[in-house]
């Protein structure tokens, strides 16, 4: 059994027991659109405007276009990048490593090896966490079974 196959106590095959536990899905991008204000980027990514500005300050999003009035104008490539960064965040990758990865991407193809090493290291960390979660899940399942048998 995998973690993704496990249902929380009280859940049914029809749906999860607690629909509030997961964040809402990101807003779909409008067809044919390739320029987004910061509020539209927030709606598409689920990130806050503060986080988007912070990513720009630390070098994780250094290439955001600006309008003639200085307003940020995100493009589809920016939203694609932010989707990838969100996945990196979910892995537990430190922000410094994400910034380093972004720097390597900007440096070009000559950094493929270093990028691969960084991602492979993160992958190993994720696999370790998954194994720990499997062990934790087994303990919870035993406890739930114990209480279910005694009830």
What pLDDT score does 1 carry? 41
Q: Is residue 142 part of a domain?
A: yes
Q: Per residue, what are the HEC states of 44-106?
A: HHCCCHHHHHHHHHHCCCCCCEECCCCCEEECHHHHHHHHHHHHHHHHCCCHHHHHHHHHHHH
Domains of the chain: total: 1
Q: Is the pTM of this model over 0.75?
A: no
Q: Is residue 44 part of a domain?
A: yes
Q: Is residue 54 part of a domain?
A: yes
CATH number at residue 75: 1.10.1660.10
What pLDDT score does 3 carry? 44
In tens, the pLDDT along 33-58 reads 788 999 999 999 999 999 999 999 99
């Amino acid at each position: 059994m995998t973690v993704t196959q496990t249902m929380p106590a009280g859940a049914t095959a029809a749906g999860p027991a607690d629909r509030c536990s997961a964040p809402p899905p990101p807003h779909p991008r409008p067809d044919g659109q390739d320029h987004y204000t910061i509020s539209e980027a927030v709606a598409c990514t689920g990130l806050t405007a503060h986080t988007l500005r912070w990513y720009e300050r630390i070098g994780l999003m250094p290439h955001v276009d600006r309008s003639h009035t200085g307003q940020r104008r995100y493009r589809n490539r920016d939203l694609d990048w932010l989707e990838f960064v969100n996945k990196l965040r979910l892995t537990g990758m430190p922000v410094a490593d994400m910034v380093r990865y972004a720097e390597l991407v900007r440096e070009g193809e000559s950094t493929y090896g270093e990028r691969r090493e960084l991602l492979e290291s993160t992958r190993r960390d994720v696999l370790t966490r998954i194994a720990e979660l499997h062990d934790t899940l087994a303990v919870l399942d035993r406890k739930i079974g114990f209480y279910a048998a005694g009830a």
